[in-house]
């Protein structure tokens, strides 16, 4: 045990000195600049140098094997790296630049991919140079994903793909897509689906961005019109896409359970913000007792969520463990984040409904957008209700009552 912690201490020193040399201080506070949701993705100057430094060290995907562009670190070392990065205001832009690559497609390729697929696809994700999107949902297949109709026809040396996807995040700016397609329509719905990977840079793929209530266009309608996927880009076995696709969704949910804004960090705490807007009584407490109780309840939920995350990480003893429990954590993270947004708006009062104009601060305008976009949390990655179905069936062992087929 002593040896393990000594190793971790020496890794901490290594990480600290590497960051000292490689993280450009000019980037502190600028992580959101990598968060491109529409338009051209252009990373230059220090931002480019930082992406390249992380990529060549493999620390953009710290736990991936080195041979595929990762850092080969243990989960514990990756956590130490994260702590050291936070302490100097550094951040990892590679998951943002790779779209769905780092959190979803990459881990699924690591589990189901052939050696050739790992060699061809993982290094581009690990360096943040290749952005991926995910073609699952269709106009008539969201929660009931197994009803998807986009079909892939065997053309000998390639798959020809026709159909329409919807809500494809980042489709217009992505290089590659991981898509669920129907490869057999004569069997039960879930038994005729395959997972294919195809380049978005081809004439048979067309995207149409959808504008959201928050003003952004983070996702698209995606049309496949005789699009082509190579035979070597079938992930997993033919007609076993349901298994591969479900596994990817577990990785997606696991990535949506992490830190939450209520955890504090560098942002102003909710209680301080409340005192600033609503005022304090003579004892220095927030003057509105009802709001005080609701903020306290929220902070307890946030703390409980974070402790649960920490307990699960500790139980996994440093190994990556993505299970159906991700559904519990996704719903809990959603509750915490949405409650925080609601409380923030309420605290700000009239100032919390600003969209534009000089009478609102940047933070106030951002709050409205965060609140609106936060509504999506209980929909993407499988809706709140669908997670509850998974919990009831796969964790509690209750009988399936929905989505037969
Ligand atoms: C911001 C955002 C990004 C997204 N990105 C992507 C992406 O990149 N790629 C992609 O493929 N998809 C993406 N999606 C789509 C997302 O996966 C679907 O919206 C989601 O699965 C729900 O499907 P739906 O919209 O068709 O709603 P529906 O399935 O029509 O559901 C409507 C309502 O009915 C409820 N419901 C449905 N079935 C059941 C049931 N069996 N039991 C109880 N309640 C039920 C749902 O909970 C929901 O409230 C994204 C969505 C959002 C909001």
pLDDT tens, 153-177? Answer: 999 999 999 999 999 999 999 999 9
Q: So what's the pLDDT on residue 254?
A: 84
Query: Residue 330 phi/psi, 5° resolution?
Result: -65, -45
- Whether the pLDDT of residue 199 is over 60: the answer is yes
Write the pLDDT tens digit of every residue in 63-112.
999 999 999 999 889 989 999 999 999 999 999 999 999 999 999 999 99
Distance 284 CA to ligand 1 centre (A): 45
Rounded (10°) CA dihedral 151, 155, 156, 159: -40
Contact 172, 216 (CB under 8 A): no
Cα Rg of the chain, angstroms: 22
Q: How far apart are CA 319 and CA 79, in angstroms?
A: 12
Write the pLDDT tens digit of every residue in 308-355.
887 877 776 655 567 778 899 999 999 999 999 999 999 999 998 888
Which of 229-243, 316-330, 369-383 bottoms out in mean pLDDT, i.e. has the lowest? 316-330
Q: Whose CA is nearest to atom 13 of ligand 1?
A: 167
Q: Whose CA is nearest to atom 48 of ligand 1?
A: 383
Q: What share of the chain in percent tops pLDDT 90?
A: 72
The strand ranges marked E within 155-232 are 158-169, 176-182, 193-199, 205-210, 219-230
Q: How far is CA 227 from the centre of its chain?
A: 27
Q: So what's the pLDDT on residue 405?
A: 43
In 3D space, the residue among 242, 148, 135 whose CA is nearest the CA of residue 191 turns out to be 242
- Whether the pLDDT of residue 123 is over 70: the answer is yes
Cβ 20 under 6 angstroms from ligand 1 = no
Cβ 383 under 6 angstroms from ligand 1 = yes
Cβ 403 under 6 angstroms from ligand 1 = yes
Q: So what's the pLDDT on residue 260?
A: 36
Distance 293 CA to ligand 1 centre (A): 33
Which of 19-33, 103-117, 190-204 bottoms out in mean pLDDT, i.e. has the lowest? 19-33
Catalytic residue among 252, 315, 356, 385: 252
Q: Which CATH number fits domain 2-97: 1.10.540, 1.25.40, 3.30.70, 3.30.2420?
A: 1.10.540
Cβ 164 under 6 angstroms from ligand 1 = no
Distance 332 CA to ligand 1 centre (A): 18
| CA angle in degrees (0–180, nearest 5) for 49-51-55 | 115
Q: So what's the pLDDT on residue 263?
A: 37
Output the average pLDDT for the chain.
90
Q: Whose CA is nearest to atom 2 of ligand 1?
A: 380
Cβ 385 under 6 angstroms from ligand 1 = yes
> Coil, strand or helix: which one is 105?
helix
Q: Confidence band (pLDDT; 50, 70, 90) for 404?
A: low
Contact 193, 180 (CB under 8 A): yes
Q: Whose CA is nearest to atom 17 of ligand 1?
A: 380
In 3D space, the residue among 108, 96, 251, 97 whose CA is nearest the CA of residue 178 turns out to be 108
The residue that leads in pLDDT, 32 or 77, is 77
User: What's the whole-number mean pLDDT along residues 37-64?
Assistant: 89
Q: Give yes or no: 252 in active site.
A: yes
Q: Which CATH number fits domain 256-395: 3.40.50.720, 2.30.110.10, 1.20.140.10, 3.30.56.10?
A: 1.20.140.10
Which of 206-220, 243-257, 272-286 bottoms out in mean pLDDT, i.e. has the lowest? 206-220
Q: How far apart are CA 30 and CA 177, in angstroms?
A: 28
In the chain, domain spans: 2-97, 132-240, 256-395
Q: So what's the pLDDT on residue 258?
A: 61
The residue that leads in pLDDT, 283 or 326, is 283
Query: Residue 131 phi/psi, 5° resolution?
Result: -100, 135
Query: pTM, whole model, 2 decimals?
Result: 0.89
Cβ 132 under 6 angstroms from ligand 1 = no
User: What's the whole-number mean pLDDT along residues 286-314?
Assistant: 91
CATH topology of domain 132-240: Butyryl-CoA Dehydrogenase, subunit A; domain 2 (2.40.110)
The residue that leads in pLDDT, 134 or 394, is 134
Q: What share of the chain in percent tops pLDDT 70?
A: 91
């Amino acid at each position: 045990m002593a040896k393990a912690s000594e190793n971790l201490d020496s890794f901490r020193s290594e990480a600290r000195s590497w960051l000292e040399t490689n993280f450009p201080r000019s980037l502190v506070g600028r992580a959101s600049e990598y968060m491109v949701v529409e338009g051209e993705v252009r990373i230059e100057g220090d931002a480019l140098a930082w992406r390249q430094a992380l990529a060549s060290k493999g620390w953009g995907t710290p736990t991936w094997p080195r041979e595929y562009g990762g850092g080969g670190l243990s989960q514990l070392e990756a956590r130490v790296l994260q702590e050291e990065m936070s302490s100097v205001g550094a951040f990892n832009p590679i998951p943002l630049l790779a779209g769905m690559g780092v959190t979803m497609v990459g881990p699924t390729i690591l589990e189901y991919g052939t050696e050739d697929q790992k060699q061809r696809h993982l290094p581009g994700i690990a360096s943040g140079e290749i952005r991926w999107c995910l073609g699952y949902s269709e106009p008539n297949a969201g929660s009931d994903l197994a009803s998807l109709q986009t079909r892939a026809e065997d053309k000998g040396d390639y798959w020809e793909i026709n159909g329409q996807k919807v809500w494809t995040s980042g489709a217009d700016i992505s290089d590659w897509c991981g898509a669920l397609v129907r490869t057999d329509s004569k069997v039960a719905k879930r038994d005729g689906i395959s997972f294919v990977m195809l380049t978005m840079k081809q004439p048979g793929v067309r995207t149409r961005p959808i504008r959201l209530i928050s003003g952004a266009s983070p996702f698209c309608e995606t049309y496949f019109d005789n699009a082509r996927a190579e035979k070597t880009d079938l992930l997993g076995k033919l007609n076993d896409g349901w298994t591969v696709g479900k596994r990817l969704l577990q990785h997606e949910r696991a990535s949506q359970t992490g830190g939450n804004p209520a955890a504090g960090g560098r942002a102003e705490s909710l209680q301080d913000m409340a005192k600033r807007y609503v005022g304090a009584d003579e004892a220095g407490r927030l003057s509105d007792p009802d709001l005080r109780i609701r903020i306290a309840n929220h902070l307890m939920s946030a703390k409980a969520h974070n402790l649960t995350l920490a307990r699960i990480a500790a139980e996994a003893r440093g190994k990556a463990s993505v299970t159906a429990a991700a559904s519990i954590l996704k719903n809990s993270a959603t509750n915490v984040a949405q409650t925080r947004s609601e409380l923030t708006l309420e605290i700000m009062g009239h100032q919390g409904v600003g969209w534009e104009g000089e009478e609102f601060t940047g933070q106030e305008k951002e709050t409205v957008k965060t609140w609106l976009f936060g509504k999506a949390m209980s929909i993407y990655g499988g809706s709140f209700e669908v997670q509850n179905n998974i919990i009831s069936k796969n964790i509690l062992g209750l009988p399936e009552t929905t989505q037969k087929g």
